Amino acid sequence: WTEFPFWTSFWICALGGILGVMYSIPLRRALVTNSDLPYPEGVACAEVLKVGSSGDSKHASEIEHGRAGLLAVLWGSIVAAVFAVVVQTQLLAGDVAQTFRIGKRGAVSGYDFFLSFALLGIGHLVGLSVGIAMLIGALIGWGWGVPHYSAIAGDVTTAAAQLAQSTWSHKVRFIGAGAIGVSAIWTLLKLVKPVASGLAGAMAASRARKAGKGDTLPITERDIPIGIVGLLTLVCMLPIGWLLGYFGTASGLGAHLPTLVIGGVVYIVLMSFFVSAVCGYMAGLIGSSNSPLSGIGILVVIGAALLLVVGVKPYVGPEASKSLMAFALFTTAVVFNVAAIANNNLQDLKTGQLVHATPWRQQVALIFGVIAGAFVIPPVLDLVNHAYGFVGAPGAELRPHPLPAPQAGLISSLAQGVIAADIDWSLIRIGGLIGIGIILLDEILARTTKHMRVPPLAVGLGIYLPTQSTLMIVVGAIAGWFFEKRADRSPKPEATKQLGVLLASGLIVGEGIIGVVISAIIVFSGKDAPLALVGPGFELAGRIIGGVTFAVIAFLLYRWILRMGAGRTTRSA
């Protein structure tokens, strides 16, 4: 492809999205109803909705608490949004980062604290155990992985930042993918019982409806009937099979269509559910915006490529390698869409659970939502492709600033490596061993302590994700822990803690909304930094001022919430 064909892209998004909604229905009972996962964005949305409707309360204390909660959400949103806009002017830096060399053998390491109030809020919501687990992962990745492999390379001429990024991208991320893979399999094994229970509950609800007892089910437990779920899933498989056949024929693999179509459909059905369950779990753990779909996608594309190597490659010539790689990526794209929608839907369903919504109404709305989104995504991708281009894609060399798309490049390289038989499996094996070690540690802690846990997936995320995405979550988790300890000593500990949750929710909402606006300005202006007021020469000063400003604002916000929770003020900060 040199662009994004509208109808092919539309059907990938629409069919994958509908399947994502269908898969999230039985997963809802396992991962939402019968789970204590934090779901930071889902909780944030629910708290905002609750505060917005609290004016109907008849009790003065509840009205006052609702007013305080509204202030917490409102000011959290405003502060996060304003800070994000000021960062775009480059008067304040967007992160505090440093890359440095260690010793004389060429070893490098570094850190990157992204000055994001949304990540700070997510850290507050996910809690200390997840935050510490992500810190452990970051230390494995950047305290051992990057220094170790950069020292082996012995490159003392390349700039430290470039070498660190290259080492992390080409070495450490594969270790993280291995750790995520083992942790994902372990998580799936632990989810077998609750998922089976969820399916049994869905079938029991369906039988109750058929027996005329549907009204006895609470409205908060009424999903789309499981029979309709199964029927829609089967219906979606027909056009997916046609898409696979069409793409296989266009790629020059028409002689092997039965194998490609049947194998591809079976793989999509099974792998989509597996990835949806694991990504849904991770979304509940650290939030949809931080769930590393690309990390699980590594396992998906490796699986698809291996099946093609075993089932098709022996019967085609070496010239078909690119076609096989393209087919593996096409199949992976469908799985990605299923998992991405299930990943986000579970946050929506968590919000619905907290505000006592009716699940089946949400699920129907979500189906229409993914179809609407499928109409919009292809032209938006084409717009970005024509405006910037993507590194490695045809025509990108003609554009001054093509987008790097590192995850897409990594997954494409993996497909090529597996089919060409030149992939380095040792890195993934090392990550797998690390994952096994963390699983054992977590199980020991579960049996010997009351509260201390090290979620294995969170450790894998800490290795796989850049420190830009993890370290501020760690800071938020630690800050939230100190806040709750201080709240325990206040006159109204539970009310104060809830205000902390609302503040964190506001931080997430505010930065999320303004982020969409900023992205639109960047795309339509055609400039990388359309709001910039200063040049690169202000970078060091902006970094110092930005870091100090961020810390002071965070401290003042928490201090204000503690005072408001104690009933001393409900005025804005």
For residue 255, what is the DSSP state?
G
As a whole number of angstroms, the distance between CA 517 and CA 515 comes to 5
Cβ proximity of 503 and 72 under 8 Å: yes
Cβ proximity of 503 and 121 under 8 Å: yes
Residue in 131, 133, 112 with CA at minimum distance from that of residue 179: 133
Q: What is the pTM of this model?
A: 0.75
Residue 47, token pair as written in the block? 């708290």
Please report how many Cα atoms fall inside a 13 Å half-sphere around the Cα of residue 315, on the Cβ side.
Answer: 11
Per-residue DSSP letters for 201-212? HHHHHHHHHHTT
pLDDT tens digits for the chain (573 residues)? 667 888 888 999 999 999 989 988 888 877 787 777 777 777 767 776 776 565 554 455 555 666 787 888 899 999 999 999 999 898 998 889 899 998 878 899 999 998 999 999 989 988 898 899 999 999 999 999 999 999 998 888 888 889 998 898 888 988 988 888 888 788 777 767 766 776 676 666 666 666 665 556 677 778 788 888 889 999 999 999 999 998 888 888 888 888 889 999 999 998 888 888 877 777 777 666 556 576 677 788 888 989 988 888 888 877 788 888 888 888 998 998 888 888 788 888 888 888 888 888 888 998 999 999 899 888 878 777 776 677 666 666 665 556 656 567 777 877 888 888 777 889 989 999 999 999 999 999 988 987 788 888 889 889 988 888 889 999 999 999 999 999 998 888 888 888 898 899 889 889 888 887 887 787 677 777 888 888 888 888 999 999 999 999 999 999 999 988 877 554 444
What are the φ/ψ torsions at residue 111 (nearest 5 degrees)? -155, 160
